[in-house]
A = this chain, B = another copy of it.
Amino acid sequence: MTTTSTVPAVPSQRSVLERLLRPHSIAIIGASPQFGKVNGRPLKHLLDKGYAGRIYPVNPKYTEIAGLACHPDVASLPEAADLAIIALPAREVEACIAALGRRGIGAAVIFSSGFGEMGAEGKLLEQRLRRCADEHGVAFCGPNCLGFVNAFDKVYATFSQYADGPTSAGPVAFVTQSGAFGTAIAALATQRGLGLGYFINTGNEAGVPFSDLMLSVIEDPRIRVAAGYLEGIRDGEGLIRLAERCAELGKPLVLTKVGRLAAGARAAASHTGSLAVGDEVFDALLRQHGVLRARNEEQMLDMLEALCSERAPQGGGLGIATQSGGAGVMMADRAEELGLQVPELAPPTRAALAAVLPAFGSSNNPVDVTGQFVGNPDLLRESVVALLQDPQVDVAIVWLQLMTAYVDLLVPIFQEIRDRTTKPFVVCWVAAPPDALRRLRAEGIVVFGAGERAVEAVAALVRYHQGRRLAAGRRDERASLQAAVRQVEGPAATAQWQAGVQPTLQASARLQSAGVPMAAVALARSADEAVAAWRGFGTAVVLKIESPDITHKTEVGGVLLNLRDERAVREAFATLMQRAAAARPQARLEGVIVQPMSSGQMELAIGVQRDPHFGMVVMVGIGGVLIEVLKDVTFRLAPFSQAEALAMLEELRMRALFDGVRGAPAVDRAALAGLLSRLSVWAAAMRPWLTELDLNPVLVGPQGATAVDCVMVLEGPPAAPPA
């Protein structure tokens, strides 16, 4: 899909989403003169708000509505309008779509409910709708949606309550899967003076999905920030494309997705691979692509306010100027928790502050300007200017409260601070007079009502710009990773295997050749072979039962450790075969796996899973067998670079272990990251076939990383397996 940001002369050459979202003409199917009703409201809004395009009401009951000619049906429309708004009962929608197609109208927004949200019958109706639209070449938003607003071009193709109030066009595009919640968020945005250039409710998303709508609106040069509210993922790859495109355009994307825990609850506890589920994968995708996640609507709006700032912080140094020492401490604490720095100020800054501050103020950061600035405005102005000029300060927060009688004094001070500085700053004005908020926002000055929230929003702004600086490098990485994936895909497509749990020897060899260091391994089909393998390794060994039908060997007592002599090995072979036969009489027993005993400084677990929405996902966690208790894990979508893998390791809670504790040396992070990156390339290439991979434990020490145990599950191979 391509879109253009200028409006070409010939409408029909514009992309279908261009015509849908920025129509030059609109037909309202089922239009009504009753402006309070769902089918009356869009026309009212279009007229009230001054839509400049052509409007065609369609309804056989009327010849005219609000002074506009009303057409009896779609066929008799005087032109193929860019967009049709469908406000008909569900049972009439399919025929309408067909009529639109025949009339050459290629884009529609369908308000009608009674589809997928209404049980089996509704789902069937929705399937038919989708098929009909495909056949007739009609792209549509909905059904069961509130429609959308393009406030720039005064397109009010909606019956949402949101359009009732004053709606100002602005740099934010907001696309929401929920109608009710989305409307509330849009109303809250308006209350804060955040202008929404687009407000789109996607409803059932039977037609154009969330990501395509968002991809279209972010191309609009009038949009600077994108925000989305999601209840589920319907198009994972579209979401990845959207994240990539936002990064290319340098437009921040903020997403709120509900259902953070529901997916987690489904996770089976027995597989480490299965720790990679739903929400964690979504979260990984966002981190990987520099998308900000807001946990709720308030955080989303806070982030949007900060992101609408024209100024970008060059680092994470936060300067705080405050009227209350305690508020300063609270904000500094929160900043530290969120990874910002609250730097010591440079001597010239401190000298400049000391020159203006009263004796009981503080020229440390946080700078306590005290309440004296009411009598002496210089105090506030010069303090904040000095703070922003400090080389370690990248962004500042100015905290004050009430000052109801001093709005006229304070607003110009903030304007002057803005004019005399180049770094971003935000005002936190607790219990502010409404007039102060309005006037500061009109000046483009970002203002919050609570200190911790101001810090959280600033942290998001810093995180976004840090991510952006890294993103350029990532684009080159992506090309070379894709090339690496293609190199692996070729051999994989001609290989042969049986579907199911792979024999340890083959799985191990496959990973070894993919660049994953594997512990030595031998298969013994008899006690004699086990003894021979033990002799060959020349060290204590571990024996593990080998069967395609036994994935979790420890559950059948199928592992015996630290076998040091012939008798022990011989007995262990017999014991394992007996135990397995007793526990799983139906299991095919191939013998036992013999491995040298190995130990590392740290035990990790690494898993690969195929996510239905996003593809292959690699997990790494600290803790080996305790991984499910420790839950110290993190995820990335495959493929990813070694640099990305290093960033991944830094997300682990117990990352201090990598540096060695209590005198232990640092482990080889680079080797581990290399293993993860190569594994991710292999996993991406094996996407059609790899169901699950579980490396646990992976032992890591100062000399590198080695996977000791692996469970690999493959689907049927590209070529037929040998009989």
Which residue in B113, B180, B360, B554 is a CB contact (below 8 Å) of A327? B180
The answer to whether B360 touches A260 (Cβ under 8 A) is no
Q: Bound complex: CA of A41 vs CA of B179, how far in Å?
A: 51
Whether A323 touches B180, Cβ cut-off 8 Å, given contacts A296-B330, A430-B188, is: yes
Name the residue on B nearest A403 (C-beta).
B161
The answer to whether B258 touches A326 (Cβ under 8 A) is yes
Interface mask (A354-394 → B, CB under 8 Å = 1, otherwise 0): 00000110000000000100000000000000000000000
Interface residues of A in 197-243 (CB under 8 A from B): 229, 231
User: How many monomers of this chain does the complex have?
Assistant: 2
Interface of A (DSSP majority class)? helix
Whether A329 touches B297, Cβ cut-off 8 Å, given contacts A360-B113, A625-B662, A654-B630, is: no
Q: Bound complex: CA of A262 vs CA of B364, how far in Å?
A: 14
Which residue in B117, B164, B333, B371 is a CB contact (below 8 Å) of A261? B333
Name the residue on B nearest A450 (C-beta).
B298
Q: Bound complex: CA of A327 vs CA of B229, how far in Å?
A: 11
Which residue in B118, B183, B260, B297 is a CB contact (below 8 Å) of A450? B297
Whether A261 touches B337, Cβ cut-off 8 Å, given contacts A404-B164, A450-B297, A628-B661, is: yes
The reply to whether the CB of A574 lies closer than 8 angstroms to some CB of chain B is: no
Interface residues of A in 670-689 (CB under 8 A from B): none
The reply to whether the CB of A170 lies closer than 8 angstroms to some CB of chain B is: no
23 residue pairs A–B, Cβ–Cβ below 8 Å: A178-B326, A180-B327, A180-B371, A181-B326, A181-B327, A181-B430, A184-B430, A187-B430, A188-B431, A191-B431, A229-B326, A231-B329, A258-B327, A259-B329, A261-B337, A262-B332, A295-B452, A298-B450, A298-B452, A554-B662, A554-B663, A626-B661, A629-B661
A interface residues, Cβ below 8 angstroms from B: 113, 117-119, 161, 164, 177-181, 183-184, 187-188, 191, 229, 231, 258-262, 295-298, 323-327, 329-330, 332-333, 336-337, 359-360, 371, 401-404, 430-431, 450-453, 554-555, 625-626, 628-630, 654, 656-657, 661-663
Other A-B contacts than A258-B330, A262-B329, A297-B430, 16 sampled, CB-CB below 8 A, are: A117-B360, A180-B324, A180-B327, A183-B402, A184-B401, A184-B430, A188-B430, A258-B329, A261-B332, A262-B333, A295-B452, A297-B451, A298-B450, A625-B662, A629-B657, A630-B654
